[in-house]
Structure 1
Amino acid sequence: MSETFSSRWSAYRPSKKVWLWSTIGASLLTMAIGFAGAGWQTGGRASVMAEMAARQARNDVAAGICVERFISAEGAAKNLETLRNTANWDRSKFIEDGGWSTIKGAEDLGPSAAAYCVKELIRMKELPVTIASDT
C-alpha cells in the first residue's frame, strides 16, 4: 500500500542543515521581493528622500513668496517683460538682484529658490490682478 503525500509529509524530519538553508533561503527571498517589488527602502535612502522632499518644500514656499512679492511690487508688468527678455542663465540673478527671492532668516534656500520663482513667473500668461488690503 502506497503512502499518501500528507502521511509522508507528517513523517518527514529534516536535518539541522536543511532547516538552516531553508531559513536562509526564505530570508533572502523575502528581502529580494521586499526591496525589488514591495517598495522597501534602506534607512539611508529614506533619509535622502526625506531631505530631498524637505528641500523641495522649502523651494516651493520660497517660490510662492517670491512670486507674490514680484507681482505685488511696483512696475511688476515692466519687470516681468524684462525678465522674459533676459537670457535664461541670467534670470535667477535678476530675481535675486531684485530682492524678491530673499526671505529674512532663511539663508539656506540656495539659488534654486530663485530658479523656481523664475519658472513660475515665466509660466504666467499675464499678471494676476492684485487687490490692496486695508489692514
Structure 2
Amino acid sequence: MNYPDWLKPYVLGAASGAALAMVVGFTWGGWMTGSDARQMSKTMSHDNVIAALVPICVAKANADSSREAKLETIRDTSRYQQREALMDAGWATMPGTEIPNRDLAQACFDALEPGL
C-alpha cells in the first residue's frame, strides 16, 4: 500500500507527541496506573480507619482502672518496645476482635505520649 509523502510527518508528529505527553503526564502530571491508585486507596483507607479508632483506644486507656500501673509499665519499657507494652495493656484491642492491632497501638501510643 502506498501512502502519500505528506502523511509521514503527521504520523511521526502524532506518535512523538503522544509519547511526550505520556512521559510528562506520568512524571510531572500526577498520572498513575491502576495498581498504584489501588495501593494508594488501600493505604489511605487503612490510615483513616486507624485515625478513627484512636479516640476509642484513648478512651479505653482513660477508663481503665489500672491505667496508672499500665502507664508506668509502658514508661519503664524501652522505647522500641513501648508499642508492645501498650498492646499488652489491652487498649489496642478493639471490641469484637481478639488480638490487638499494631498500627492502632502505635497511633494510640503517639496520642498518649504527651501524657507519658
How well do the aligned residues superpose, as a CA RMSD in angstroms? 2.4
Equivalent runs, 1:40-59 vs 2, <5 Å: 40-59=31-50
Structure 2 unaligned segments of length 5 or more: list them.
Answer: none
Asked if 2 retains the 8 angstrom alpha-carbon contact of 1:70 and 1:76, the reply is yes
2:29 alignment partner in structure 1: 38
Verify the 8 A CA contact 1:101 1:114 in the aligned structure 2: yes
The yes-or-no answer on 1:91 pairing with 2:48 is no
1:123 maps to 114
Taking the aligned partners of 1:14 and 1:57, their CA distance within structure 2 comes to 58
For residues 52 and 67 of structure 1, the distance between their equivalents in structure 2, rounded to whole angstroms, comes to 23
Matches within 5 A, 1:1-135: 15-105=6-96, 110-124=101-115
Q: Distance in 2 between matches of 1:36 and 1:14?
A: 34
> Structure 1 residues 70, 109: closer, same or farther in 2, change over 3 A?
closer
Read off the aligned partner of 1:71 and give its amino acid letter. N
Cα distance in 2 for partners of 1:103, 1:66 equals 8
Indicate the larger mover: 109-118 or 65-74. 109-118
Give aligned pairs, total.
113
Contact 1:67/1:117 (8 A) holds in 2:
yes
Amino acid at match of 2:94: I
| Residue 51 of structure 1: how far off its partner (Å) | 0.7
Q: CA deviation at 1:23?
A: 0.8
TM-aligned CA distance change 1:107 to 1:74, over 3 Å: closer
Q: 1:89 to 1:65 in 2, by over 3 A?
A: same
Task: Rate the CA distance shift 1:110–1:89 in 2: closer, same or farther, 3 A.
Answer: same
The percent identity for this pair of structures is 25
Larger Rg: 1
Distance apart, 1:14 and its partner CA:
6.4
5+ unaligned residues in a row in structure 1: which ranges? Answer: 1-12, 126-135
Instruction: Tell me whether 20-29 or 55-64 shows the greater mean CA deviation.
Output: 55-64
Q: Give TM-score, length-normalised by structure 2.
A: 0.80
